[in-house]
A = this chain, B = another copy of it.
Amino acid sequence: MSKKDGKSKAEKAEKKARKEAGEAKGFLARVYVALKPTVNDPEGLTIANALGSLGFDGVEGVRSGKYFQVRLRAADAKAAAEQVDQMCSRLLANPVIETYEFELEKA
């Protein structure tokens, strides 16, 4: 493969990447990560007690968790959902003690 061919291959790949990036749409994912029901939640307990001492005596329980807003570009909603699901299981949530759910909207 001559140097010229190599160069044109690289250019094609770059053009393709730019084209894909250009066509990619913007999405906003709202990710909710909560502790599994079987896992103790000291933070939730502390908050529930604090709410009680502030006079909110109707409170029966509090579970705490994490909330992420992820802005991303993807070819379409399906690709975006797959990426977000991967992000959750690989980084945003600890699958051993947490569950996650997310909502996706066009940004």
Instruction: State the A residues within 8 Å of B (CB).
Output: 24, 26, 30, 32-34, 44, 47, 50-51, 54, 56, 58-74, 80, 83, 86-87, 90-92
Contacts and interface: CB of A to CB of B under 8 A. Distances in A.
Contact of A91 (B50, B63, B68): B50
Contacts of A50: 91
A80 B61 CA distance: 14
Contacts of A32: 30, 32, 67
Contact of A58 (B51, B62, B83): B83
Which one of A72, A73, A74 has the highest number of Cβ atoms from chain B below 10 Å of its Cβ? Answer: A72
A58 B73 contact: yes
Given A62-B68, A63-B68, A65-B68, A56 B87 contact: yes
